[in-house]
Structure 1
Amino acid sequence: MTETILAAGPTIRLAAFLGVLATMALWEVTAPRRQRDIPRVIRWTNNIALVVLDTVILRTMFPILAVGLAVMSEERGWGFFNNIDVPASVSIVVSMVMLDLAIYLQHVMFHAVPGLWRLHRMHHADLDFDATTGLRFHPVEILISMGIKLAVVAALGPPAVAVLLFEVILNATALFNHANINLSRPVDRVLRLFVVTPDMHRVHHSVDPRETNSNYGFNLPWWDRLLGTYVAQPAKGHEKMNIGIEQFHTRRDLWLDRMLIQPLRGPPSGHALDSHSTAKEQK
């Protein structure tokens, strides 16, 4: 079973990724939520080039990724679930929920620590909001995120199938909740009880620091509500809210070379503990 998961994992992830991306792109064309301001050719080519670069660097730097480590942990008895006797269904469900909580906490940390915010703000600096925004992460952030994920997998000892399912679902929901798609308001209200919706996550991409530092969930919406980081709607409404980071608001900032050096440019303003942003918000 574990050998099958290892062998089929990359194919399953790639097929799911391409299928969801194509579905979201078609949905964005037929029923967009917001008017597009930047030509797709500029944003899509650079965002997709970035994810290709991220993938190459990740595969080069890490000889083993999360699913492989889960298999190794099971073989060697590492981690919590490999040392207790519980039904497989329980360990799978609990592992997926705990991995999602770890991603939420990691996201909060990347907003709270100025050095990490320098890396993560590149994700926020996209001037439009669509499915490819969910792919836009700095390579150094990707490496740090994978290191954190591997540490969680080693400590938790989740079944390999739980890690594979979690990664497929997380990638799919990241594309979904960044998509520029128009869900009816009643559907959105119900759906966001179970999964992060585009309207919920779009608030997180506002230039308003109060909204930027809210709605950290990528998959499950419960952590924001439970831990006090939930903002239901943007102050200016979804059609009029400004997307991005104020200090990187030119089309030239959307190019791959500028994205890669962005952590070195300007002050790390706008992070969750930035007193200047808080004072500006309260005026």
Structure 2
Amino acid sequence: MKEFIKNKAITGLIVLSTVILAGVAIFTALKLYNLRQASISPLSPESQPFAWDCTKYTFNLDQSGNVTVENKSSKDEPSQQARIYIENNLVATLDVPALPKGQTASLGSVSVPNQNYSWRIVGTKDCQNSGSNTPGPKSCAQLTFTLSQPSPTPTVTPTPTRTPTPTPASCNQSCDSNSDCINGLICYQASSGSYCRSSSCSLETDCSCPGASPTPSPTPTNPPTSTPTTANTPTPTTYLASNSPTPTVTYIAAVSPTPGGDALPSAGFALTTWLLLGSALLIMIGAIILAL
């Protein structure tokens, strides 16, 4: 009885070992078959994605502070972020969307100085650009202003016109009042009319009183006449506008090396797999025959 149990135990252990070895062989064969195209050499690392073509994937900052990115390459570029530096100071970090080939995107705007400044935009994954800007117009053509000289127009100064004063009546001339007679005479009313006579002897027609010398009559003079003058006109002046410098943009291209290496070796072989499977089956069949 003991001998029977001992034989059966040995047979069971042989069958169990055979099944375990067969399972390990089958698992190993399938694993090698699935990894037949995988790299197993430490000298052949996994391939890396191609570097971005930074000569055609460019950032730009204009004079108004607008940030843009343009993809002129032949492939689509993934999303990333862009850090904006002005005078080497980080002023903003903007999101850059995934950009298809041949497309341009506006990233946003930043505050820029009112004087000449340098800028630099750095992508968090790849590519960067730098340059400098000058506020104001980029360029101006020479401007010339011409003023035509008008013909001078003389300014006439009006000459005051004096109201003529009536000449006082002399001796024995007709009058209406004493003011019509020259100094020293009065308007004497005679039977034949009113005449300028001497107040001392109004009956004398020659105004000469006995024992008195005649009074000379004043002679009126003409007023001076003013001469018109001509006003001067200003001479026109010509102004020239200067050209402003044109901002320059410098592009920095960063190209990552392309990994190289030998072709990947074949890790799995179908013949070996089938040989292992066949051996496992033969072992199992032999174990079953021994068990019987």
- What TM-score do you get using the length of structure 2 for normalisation? 0.15
Larger proportion of helix: 1
- Structure index of larger Rg: 2
- What TM-score do you get using the length of structure 1 for normalisation? 0.15
